[in-house]
Structure 1
């Protein structure tokens, strides 16, 4: 490894290293996997929709697709089941149970099936009396439900709070349930919708220091269903950066919600936009799509090794916006090897002609005598060797993105 230079240290220090994240030994890199999410929104009619309902059949099919294709090899190992997996009634011991018709083998057996394939199981819960879909919530049963999840060997717990209305109750519920998860002695990654729920219910901004000390990942935004929501996510993230800039990083990453790559929601350029932004800010990459119908272009995007490497980079930095050139925002993230960084150019203009963009590397807080080999991640095009005083010129499609690796040497 080459010696650390003053310019490298200054660059990293300018980006910050978080100091207030949850230290429970997990959540040190963004989640990578698949979720029922928007593609399978609480569909429980398995008679008319046997392949699309939330069921054991669906989850086993996805597990087989991940392991038989290249996804597991690329790092996709989490399968997250959203709302509506539960039975409408608890069992005779007041414990949660999976719907007995849709999950005939039970959740413990399904968990064992996934673990046998080196995959991990995640389940959605609600901290109120009912889930968003009207299924049993965990209110007044946090200890019992945490024990149940542990007995099933669940790996990831996603906690919503549709069933809570009081801001005081919401702010108390997440730490309380997190404590019960920890008391089981079983390591379970804790994904909180805490800031998102507070904002949706008019409760203002969350205490992000408390959130980061409680949750491995915390959701802040709506699911992306349209181009407008995609660009709005970028604008909101940057606008509220000051609230969570000191607490994000390994142990507590921001969750921008699911990827909709491979669905009909976004164009190919917009899929690159979403992947670029999620990768540069170290959000979980959890795709919600029909794995059996995934088109080849979207599959190549999701399996792009360089995108995944940027997202999962072990330095643990979270990218931030450095420049705005009219409608193109420019984001940077330090990555390995030492002194290198990723750069995302996001065109928030959703119509019209491509945007021409030019900037000097020094405007990204890059200085010193380092040289960089520059490659665009999606096309694989090599752009040459650049130094901090050089100008960089490129063209970005409307609602599209370019993602670069600047590798120091």
Structure 2
């Protein structure tokens, strides 16, 4: 369903001219580290979305300690709106689901020390809600309304976009309209573009947004092929690309690291599936670690009301979260690869280097990370700390080896010289 693209020189020049004319001051919120929070979609879709769920989730984020770890954005995804007021044209929250109204709900979220997120689409309607629920052509009106509710975060989807895609310029201009509208409200609002990687947003979204989705929708699967996610390279996902496995999304993001930083924004690998059925505990930990070191926003997608101890332990792994929130903000990159069976990812931190040994295979594997591949030398001796176990495990010179990394598992360590 995705349009083929031919990048003619004249078009590339035009796009570059248009995009370069947008200054950093036109982003609706200052650049900062990857967002952390919770979103309703992965667990609930359009089901059970109501005021009680959101209030309960806000309370649990605090009582569970996850808010203290950094998960502060609480976002209501699709299906919150029943349409528009026929007199004012304002979006209306479904009165059956949200009888107290969005301003009241936002006040509760803020009272818990959290930030309030909302969802819309850069189209005439959102992906799953009634007609006329999208914000295309109504950007200023909707942004003003959300600001009056106290909204701090906007997830902005790509459905029903009236064909306004197919080139970087078209997508940039459509999403820029909302960036300008958010900026005009005077309220800092984190702008999360969700256009599924269509028209290569990593090349232009840094001028207007804080993060940008790089792929179709995630699914709770390690690597099970999905008939709805056939795309295997960055930029080819389109409407209907859903249930993308973890390894599919990882592969599409390899090579996009130069486009992400604290001064640019972040490649969004989609919401986390940790705590949702479909993967083993080891696979969920690997998923979490890879998203963290690639500097993707960490947005929880599980039902916090039924969260078990293993899920909470993964999500609250402070030393892994600290890598995601490292002020240097450099995403880990693939530095060693053995036929997509075993891989090593590494990147610099303000106080060392993070290294991830990934075994994608179905049998245990010996993996060695060579220091000269990660920015050190073959004679460097480094202290090694296991960030998952929160344990200093000695020193290593020239390389670091684990004799048996379990299937679909990771080892994450910090090296300090």
Give TM class, smaller chain: 0.7 to 0.9
1:345 has 2:357 as partner: yes
- Other-structure match for 2:326: 313
Structure 2 SS opposite 1:122: strand
In the alignment, which residue of structure 2 is the partner of 1:11? none
* Unaligned stretches of 5+ residues in structure 1: 1-18, 44-52, 199-204
Q: Distance in 2 between matches of 1:158 and 1:247?
A: 20
TM-score of the superposed pair, with normalisation by structure 2: 0.83
Counterpart in the other structure of 1:137: 134
Q: Does the 8 Å CA contact 1:259/1:285 hold for their aligned counterparts?
A: yes
Change (3 A) 1:119 1:207: closer
Q: Distance in 2 between matches of 1:142 and 1:379?
A: 47
- Taking the aligned partners of 2:377 and 2:219, their CA distance within structure 1 comes to 36
1:291-348 Cα shifts (integer Å, max 9, x gaps): 11111111111111101101111111111111113411111121132xx011112222
What SS class does the counterpart of residue 103 from structure 2 fall into?
helix
SS of the equivalent of 2:91 reads coil
Q: Deviations over 1:89-142 (max 9, x none)?
A: 335311112111111111111111111111001111111111111331112211
2: CA distance between counterparts of 1:112 and 1:22?
A: 30
Q: Answer yes or no: is 1:187 the counterpart of 2:188.
A: yes
Q: How does 1:223-262 map to 2 (within 5 A)?
A: 223-228=218-223, 229-238=245-254, 241=255, 244-250=256-262, 251-262=264-275
Shift of residue 279 of structure 1? 0.7
Q: What is the aligned residue count?
A: 365
> Within 2, Cα distance between the matches of 1:390 and 1:247?
29
CA RMSD of aligned residues (A): 2.1
Q: Which of 269, 272, 281 does residue 294 from structure 2 map onto?
A: 281
SS in structure 1 opposite 2:272? coil
Q: 1:270 aligns with which of 283, 294, 307?
A: 283
Compared with structure 1, are the counterparts of its residues 152 and 256 closer, same or farther at alpha carbon in structure 2 (3 Å cutoff)?
Answer: same
**CA distance in structure 2 between the aligned counterparts of 1:368 and 1:192, rounded to whole angstroms:** 42
CA shift in 2, pair 1:197/1:365, >3 Å: closer
Cα distance, 1:64 vs structure 2: 0.6
Cα pair distance change 1:360/1:111, threshold 3 Å: same
Give the aligned partner of residue 42 of structure 1: 46
SS of aligned partner of 1:334: strand
- Tell me the distance in 1 between the aligned counterparts of 2:77 and 2:172: 22
What residue ranges of structure 2 are gaps of 5+ in the alignment? 1-19, 224-244
Once the two structures are superposed, what CA deviation does each residue of 1:266-295 show, in whole Å capped at 9, x if it has no partner? 111101111111111111111111111111
Mapped pair 1:298 → 2:311: yes
Given that residues 21 and 247 in structure 1 are in contact (C-alpha distance below 8 angstroms), is that contact kept between their aligned partners in structure 2?
no
